[in-house]
């Protein structure tokens, strides 16, 4: 086993993100969290969606899969069921996970699959140059909504909390230390953890810049009780500003794979080691 260090995670490829992009600090927080958890390179696998967020695949050296836009969660669930000893992390954008991939998100929540999902939520389809996304504010003027967005934003976190996700948190790319702690808590949680990371996109979301976030985020205080599902959903619904921290945590629900007796002892790949022959598939793609 090779212990994770920042050096080991260093990719030979330099990030191609725009100057000031929130993705830089999210990547830093993720790496720091993996190091602080003392995990090994072999036990972590990251599935990436398609987007500026998904391009993180090139900028961190680890086991992983750069999937299809909106479909990464299905891959992540498959990986977890094949080898439930892996720490499986899913990274995607608001367009990817709350838009095209929303049904897969709901499936992951309902099953409470033990996957940690980081949504790089910049409120835009940024890689495709800034169309309105499911989390864009009503009235947003963008290339796809030149007269202003008619729809209201998707209440993604309430969809997750209301549909079985065991751990739901909100982070902000401008608060590194808190991001590290929330990512660590999500990975340690045995069940589905969703961390919505509010991410400035200086190129295509000029409204929600760092100054806007300074005014519009606040930390949950110590009196906040994350075990209260109904209260968590009501607070999200009623709050004018974005609360940061663990919004909901259910410690009474077990993860999906725990409900499968055949996975009690050994993982699927431990049970059927000879059935796994990727030689042909690998030859096809290299
Ligand atoms: C199946 C499929 N649908 C659509 C696209 C086009 N596409 C690529 S990236 C992208 C937008 C990504 O937005 P988001 O998920 O929010 O990520 P961001 O770039 O903002 O990080 C879209 C629509 C695609 N590549 N594949
Ligand atoms: S377009 Fe936005 S999200 Fe994409 S790299 Fe540039 S600043 Fe970041
Ligand atoms: Mg986006």
* Paired strand residues for 245: 170
- What pLDDT, on the 0 to 100 scale, is given for residue 279? 81
pTM of the predicted structure, to 2 decimals? 0.96
Per residue in 97-144, pLDDT (tens digit) is: 999 999 999 999 999 999 999 999 999 999 999 999 999 999 999 999
Number of domains making up the chain: 1
Nearest CA to ligand 2 atom 4: 52
Instruction: Assess contact for 169 and 182: CB atoms under 8 A.
Output: yes
Per the prediction, the chain carries an average pLDDT of: 96
Specify the ligand 1 atom closest to the Cα of 125: 13
Q: Domain span at residue 158?
A: 6-285
Per residue in 175-211, pLDDT (tens digit) is: 999 999 999 999 999 999 999 999 999 999 999 999 9
Answer yes or no: is pLDDT of 286 > 80.
Answer: no
Is residue 126 lining ligand 2, measured as CB closer than 6 Å? yes
Q: Which ligand is nearest to the CA of 18?
A: 2
Residue 57's φ and ψ, nearest 5 degrees, are -50, -35
Percent of the chain with pLDDT over 90: 94
Distance CA 239, CA 134 (A): 19
How far apart, in Å, do the first and last CA atoms of the chain sit? 26
Burial code (b: 16+ CB inside 10 Å, e: under 16) for 23-39 equals bebbbebbbbbbbeeeb
User: What element of type H or E holds 35?
Assistant: helix 23-36
Give the distance (Å) from ligand 2 centre to CA of residue 52. Answer: 6
The CATH number of the domain holding residue 272 is 3.40.50.970
Give the distance (Å) from ligand 2 centre to CA of residue 14. Answer: 15
Nearest CA to ligand 1 atom 11: 125
Spell out which residues line ligand 1, taking CB within 6 angstroms: 50-53, 68-70, 92-96, 100, 120, 122, 124-128, 133
DSSP structure class, residue 17: P
Q: Which ligand is nearest to the CA of 17?
A: 2
Q: Which of 21, 104, 125 to mutate to test the pocket of ligand 1 (most atoms within 8 A of CB)?
A: 125
Residue 145 lies in a domain: yes
**What does 40-96 look like in DSSP terms, one character per residue?**
BGGGEEEEE-SSTTGGGGGTB-SEEEE--TTTHHHHHHHHHHH-TTSEEEEEEEHHI
Residue 111 lies in a domain: yes
Per residue in 230-282, pLDDT (tens digit) is: 999 999 999 999 999 999 999 999 999 999 999 998 999 899 877 777 788 77
Residue 1 lies in a domain: no
């Amino acid at each position: 086993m090779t212990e994770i260090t920042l050096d080991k995670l260093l990719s030979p490829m330099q990030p191609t993100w725009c100057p000031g992009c929130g993705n830089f600090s999210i990547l830093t927080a993720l790496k720091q969290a993996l190091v602080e958890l003392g995990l090994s390179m072999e036990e972590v696998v990251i599935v990436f969606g398609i987007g500026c967020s998904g391009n993180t695949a090139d900028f961190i050296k680890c086991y992983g899969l750069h999937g299809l836009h909106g479909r990464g969660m299905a891959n992540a669930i498959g990986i977890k069921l094949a080898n439930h000893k892996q720490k499986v992390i899913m990274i995607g954008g608001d367009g990817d996970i709350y838009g095209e991939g929303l049904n897969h998100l709901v499936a992951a929540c309902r099953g409470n699959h033990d996957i940690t999902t980081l949504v790089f939520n910049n409120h835009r389809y940024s890689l495709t140059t800034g169309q309105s996304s499911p989390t864009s504010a009503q009235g947003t003027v963008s290339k796809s909504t030149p007269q202003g967005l008619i729809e209201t934003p998707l209440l993604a976190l309430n969809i997750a909390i209301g549909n079985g996700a065991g751990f739901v948190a909100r982070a902000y790319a401008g608060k590194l230390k808190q991001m590290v702690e929330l990512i660590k808590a999500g990975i340690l949680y045995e069940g589905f953890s969703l961390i919505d990371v509010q991410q400035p996109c200086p190129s295509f979301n000029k409204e929600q810049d760092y100054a806007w976030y300074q005014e519009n985020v606040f930390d949950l205080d110590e009196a906040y009780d994350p075990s209260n599902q109904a209260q968590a959903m009501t607070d999200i619904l009623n709050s004018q500003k974005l609360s940061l921290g663990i919004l909901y945590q259910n410690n009474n629900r077990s993860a999906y794979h725990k409900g499968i007796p055949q996975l009690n002892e050994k993982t699927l790949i431990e049970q059927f080691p000879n059935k796994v022959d990727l030689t042909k598939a690998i030859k096809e793609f290299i």
